[in-house]
Amino acid sequence: MSTTSAGPRQPDVMEQWEDFVRSRYDPDKKKEDFRVYSDATPPGVREFYRLNHAQQTRDFVLSKKREYTPLNRKKMSVWEAMDQLEVIVDDSDPDTDLSQIAHNLQTAEACRRDGRERWFILSGLLHDLGKVLCLYGEPQWAVVGDTFPVGCAWSDRIVYPEFFAANPDSKVPEYQTELGVYSKYCGLDNVDLSWGHDEYLYHVTKAYLPEEALYMIRYHSCYPIHRENQYQYLMNEKDRKLFHWVREFNQYDLYSKSDKAPDVKALRPFYEDLVAEFLPDQLSW
């Protein structure tokens, strides 16, 4: 992701952005055309996955959990986190260059239009707030992108599986069996996923939201499971039941994206009430 305040974009990224714009304005864009990773994928996105797959090792994930999950970094309201996200654009996402706050609001508004539960709408608003990680200096490959279990064999249904050859875990035999360090049907709560904004926000919000909402937040980037149905042998009964909500949520995350910026000022009172209904004024990050 780039911070737009950091000066002009690199030329290659600007080019990618123009391609994105052309593609977005294509009136024939079909539902299946969103989130297509192929030879047409911008080089920056491909490079992002190369870095992500090479460096998300089990040791890396465990060290990031030790570093961030004590939540002793700062106190911040949802709105302060939202303001911080205003400068971030997600380079891993081939479908949009809108600001993150716009994406959060568009997702929440799409949930609201469909008459979803209040906790569901709130999850739409919050789901990407964990991206404040990049403002703590984390590289984008440790903040965004599809997540996957570490410490066991990688599914070949993960996007760009060939990039895992450069991951040091590929040389650890214990991590290269189907179950790896886990036991069958152990439950995803006992499984470490590649580190990023999903897991971080889960820890920030877990004391306050219903379990369904927490699954949506914690696993929304786990395409290998919620889209590709991989890793069923690590999931327990509860995971299988609650992944229904992750799948329900994904359509709003992906298909609510539009180029029309939401009217933040007009929407704010509704969302202030909604946030206050579930969350304290200050959250620990």
| Closest CB 137 distance from Fe ion, rounded Å | 19
Question: How far, in Å, are 187, 213, 220, 267 from residue 241 at the CA level?
Answer: 12, 13, 15, 33
Specify the residue, 128 or 239, whose C-beta has the smaller distance to Fe ion.
128
| Category of 244 on φ-ψ map: left (φ > 0), alpha (ψ -120 to 50) or beta | alpha
From the list 17-25, 126-134, 163-171, 204-212, the region that binds Fe ion by CB under 5 A is 126-134
DSSP conformation letters of the chain? -EEGGGSSPPHHHHHHHHHHHHHHT-TT--GGGTT--STTS-HHHHHHHHHHHHH--HHHHHHHHHHHTT--S-EE-HHHHHHHHTTEE-TT-TT--S-HHHHHHHHHHHHHHTT--HHHHHHHHHTTGGGGGGGGT--GGGTSS---BSSSPPPTTSSSGGGGGGSGGGG-GGGGSSSTTS-TT--GGGSPBPPSHHHHHHHHHTTTS-HHHHHHHHHTT-HHHHTT---GGG--HHHHHHHHHHHHHHHHHHHT--SS---HHHHHHHHHHHHHHHS-SSEE-
Does 253 interact with Fe ion (rule: CB under 5 A)?
Answer: yes
| Closest CB 256 distance from Fe ion, rounded Å | 9
From the list 40-48, 65-73, 121-129, 159-167, the region that binds Fe ion by CB under 5 A is 121-129
Specify the residue, 95 or 253, whose C-beta has the smaller distance to Fe ion.
253
Specify the residue, 106 or 169, whose C-beta has the smaller distance to Fe ion.
106
| Closest CB 274 distance from Fe ion, rounded Å | 18
Tokens of 126: 């919050």
Amino acid code (one letter) for 230: Q
> Of the candidates 128, 138, 192, 199, which one interacts with Fe ion according to CB under 5 A?
128
From the list 67-75, 128-136, 224-232, 239-247, the region that binds Fe ion by CB under 5 A is 128-136
| Closest CB 106 distance from Fe ion, rounded Å | 9
- The site map against Fe ion for 78-117 (x = CB under 5 A) is ----------------------------------------
| Closest CB 193 distance from Fe ion, rounded Å | 13
Q: How many residues does the chain have?
A: 285
| Closest CB 42 distance from Fe ion, rounded Å | 19
Specify the residue, 112 or 180, whose C-beta has the smaller distance to Fe ion.
112
- Which residue, 212, 165, 219, is CA-closest to 196? 219
From the list 30-38, 69-77, 125-133, 159-167, the region that binds Fe ion by CB under 5 A is 125-133
- The site map against Fe ion for 182-221 (x = CB under 5 A) is ----------------------------------------
Specify the residue, 109 or 169, whose C-beta has the smaller distance to Fe ion.
109
| Closest CB 172 distance from Fe ion, rounded Å | 28
| Closest CB 221 distance from Fe ion, rounded Å | 5
Applying CB under 5 A, the residues found at the interface with Fe ion are: 128, 253
